[in-house]
Amino acid sequence: MSKRSRSLSGTEATPFVYGETNGRAWRQQGERIDLVRRTVRPRITVVRHAQGEVAFDLRRTALAVIDMQNDFCHPRGWFGAKGISVRPMRKPIPVLARVLPAWRAAGGTVIWLNWGVRADLANLPPSVRYKGKRQPQAIGYAEPVPGTGGRAVVPGEWGAQVVDELAIDPADLTVFKHRLSGFWDNELDSILRVRGIDTLVFAGVNTDRCVYGSLQDAAYLGYDCLLLADGCGTPSPAYVTRAIHFLVQQLHGFVIDSDALLDGLPAEGARRPAPKASFSSKEQA
């Protein structure tokens, strides 16, 4: 058998790997470039929801945490300066503080999907600029926030940073967005596909805006979607949240809670008491 026809499992040096190792990388060994995608054993996670159970592969799933940033969740941030109570936006913090370490320990991917506008607003049309400001005297995107001096949701500013209670791990991914949907005009979709991720668990703020907008687009693009209900928050009335839960369950995916998720994680993740038999969407998220 010639050298060229031998398997890469021979005695040559360890192959050099190009790309992610989740079964999707190329390998170079000597003169051979190996394009074969490896089969990776799934890490099956089973989670209860209101209608039963849903199983997914943790290796191919990412927890997408949306807009848990100072400008939305800290009293001194952009929303606080607008006179908006940040209490509903802070509601997910203790839930995510429990979920994130267990999710990472079990081998799950975390993606921080955050607002991040250009300082010159060059790619924000009038419709988006108006909705972020509404009155000439109000504080709009990329404008200084009183008390901090930083420009609202501009990357690098304090307001665009994730709240201190939810520290970003070096292994986490961060993607910025400049629309309600995290899939519009950015690199999120290509990052997920390169990493072989086909399932997303959504959390963050606001339930009925950026979280739902991102979940909808993910579903339209063919991703499997779960909404972490108690890991979301919004200042909108409770009936809006109930409507979002109904629409997700009816059209786009599944609604779960943190107890069910933690209980279903593989052994490496923290275990929690068994979830309730059913999930109530009446709780405001």
Q: Which residues make Cβ contacts (< 8 Å) with residue 174, sequence separation at least 6?
A: 111, 112, 114, 168
Count of other CB atoms within 10 angstroms of residue 245: 23
**String of DSSP letters for 229-272:** EEEEE-SS-HHHHHHHHHHIIIIIEEEE-HHHHHHHS-TTSPP-
Token output for 196: 């072989």
Distances (CA, A) of 41 to 22, 59, 246, 255, 266: 10, 9, 34, 26, 13
Q: Quick check: 71 and 78 in contact, CB under 8 A?
A: yes
Q: Looking at the annotation, which residues are catalytic?
A: 67, 177, 210
Burial of 89 from C-beta contacts in 10 A (0-12 / 13-18 / 19+)? buried
| Angstrom distance (rounded) from CA 175 to CA 96 | 18
* Amino acid identity, position 210: C
Q: Quick check: 265 and 106 in contact, CB under 8 A?
A: yes
The three-state secondary structure class of 151 is: strand
